[in-house]
A = this chain, B = another copy of it.
């Protein structure tokens, strides 16, 4: 069998033990890899109700059968765990080179269990494994952590690390790998709770390919699709940041903590202006898109600083969502987020939340440790970000996320806490694109920026669908969600499918020729696997007590009409949409998959255990 390394490494930090296991045929056939493997293991191995920051939680790093092969954009690593921010199942993907390096070291999956007594890092050199002291690098930023650990292991080692935010258990701390991040949901806090500073890998084996000729053909097809896409050029030139102004114009890119008022100087985010900051282009392992940019600041307080460019979400969260149009400051806030290991989306959102509380006089300058939190005050934003990372003063309150912070602050602050399931919203307004909104409330990890992306509504691809109508949106949402899930078994980046640079047929050919498993070439088979994964993710949450009531946007988005174009006057018709969606999914009225649906997906045993009738 090609593609897979056929090895799971189980590391128990409490016992300081390593154990190698094989992939079961059942796991492979039913879940393919990546996201599928992740949820299956997490579901099976985690007890209901455990504290996400306790040693009982597990942290799973998983690549896919295409990692480290010549397949384009398909060497991502997923981090799977129970989220300390939401209490739900959590998957957070990361680009870069770590997923491929795991494969080169002969690993499909690393399961980290328990908790180390003192800060450690895991050093994996092919099949040699070590737990090493990390007290020296504890407390330091992610970039220098890479540098020091490379000096102590191998100059070309690849690693995932946490920064100070993860160590301080900030609920939305990220995991960073060469400036790419598994950003959302608090994966970094889980890693920090285990006293695990880094997982470091150096491998020397290329994966086998079952049918090399066919695989080469499939990759060629994939590359043809990339080249022919009209999105390839713009995306290569500016990365996702180029979408900022475009999405603002279709009513996305929310402003002022989702008040959605017009933002003066939004032109600063035009592709033309953002392009002026770009210094060079770089990419992840085996990806010709090279959507990574380096941007530079040459004037003002941040002169001299250059760093990887903010993605669309960071331009938004530190920009329009905080009423800030100073691009230089966003570049710096994004750099600090990478260095400290903190999620750009949630961090921008908690700052926007604090700014609105300040505007509404729910908090004072004194409450904010002397910071003047006016919209767009980027110097205050920078200071507040540092306070959040270090859990200093008011920062300690915000480090819990908007939902818990609002509870702590009281005085009606919850009205301004923009979250779903306790997780801050990404740069999309559910009111202005109904299918995408429906997707945000039903995604099992909480609202996410890159799953089930409603490209039909947002960019009119492959074909325009009116974003304001309700008809057919349940089906459409399911389609987009399941499509993402298919590609995340690879693990293929979601940018190419979102931009229709890859289709399921080609993906199937890649999978089957790499692994030698014929069934993977059948699109129907893939759609079925993906639906199985999605349902199992839903079941994880149901076991934890989540239900319809949690598939819900904040009051502001339900009842306040959008005040500006393009979505002017729109609200979010949540219940009608949910009814449609549950029906499309074959779930009951409370959002629980029916026994029939689960049996159809081969999840009958689990249905029985969960007492689903």
Contact = CB atoms under 8 A, between A and B. Distances in A.
A148 interface: yes
A342 to B, nearest CB: 11
Contact of A139 (B139, B151, B298, B339): B298
Contacts of A148: 279-280, 294, 306
Query: How many copies of this kind of chain does the complex include?
Result: 2
A306 B152 contact: no
Given A279-B137, A298-B140, A304 B163 contact: yes
A87 B186 CA distance: 57
A145 B306 CA distance: 8
Interface in A140-173: 140-141, 144-145, 147-148, 151-152, 163-164
A1 interface: no
Nearest to A305: B141
A307 interface: yes
A390 interface: yes
A294 B303 CA distance: 25
A389 interface: yes
- The CB with the most chain B CB atoms within 10 A, among A136, A163, A282, A297, is that of A136
Contacts of A421: none
A180 interface: no
Contacts of A140: 279, 296, 298, 304-306
A390 B299 CA distance: 9
Contacts of A301: 386
A43 B397 CA distance: 66
Task: Please report whether the interface of chain A is mostly helix, strand, loop or mixed according to DSSP.
Answer: mixed
A279 B136 contact: yes
A340 B282 CA distance: 24
Contacts of A298: 138-140, 164
A304 B303 CA distance: 21
Contacts of A282: 151
Nearest to A142: B304
A346 B280 CA distance: 34
A305 B340 CA distance: 9
A326 to B, nearest CB: 17
Nearest to A341: B304
Contact of A144 (B137, B144, B163, B307): B307
A304 B164 contact: yes
B304 A152 contact: no
B136 A340 contact: no
A600 to B, nearest CB: 50
B152 A303 contact: no
A296 B151 contact: no
Given A144-B294, A152-B280, A282-B151, A304 B137 contact: no
A306 B340 CA distance: 12
B303 A139 contact: yes
Contacts of A280: 136, 148, 151-152
Contacts of A294: 144, 147-148
Interface string A306-349: 11000000000000000000000000000000011000000000
- The CB with the most chain B CB atoms within 10 A, among A138, A152, A294, A303, is that of A303
A304 B136 contact: no
A112 B186 CA distance: 52
Given A139-B298, A279-B137, A279-B140, A304 B151 contact: no
Nearest to A300: B390
Interface of A: 136-141, 144-145, 147-148, 151-152, 163-164, 279-280, 282, 294, 296-298, 301, 303-307, 339-340, 386, 389-390
19 contacts: A136-B280, A137-B279, A137-B306, A138-B298, A139-B297, A140-B279, A140-B298, A140-B306, A141-B304, A141-B306, A144-B294, A144-B296, A144-B307, A148-B279, A148-B306, A163-B304, A164-B303, A301-B386, A303-B386
Q: Which 9 A-B pairs have the closest CB atoms?
A: A139-B298, A140-B306, A144-B306, A136-B279, A164-B304, A141-B304, A140-B296, A148-B280, A148-B294
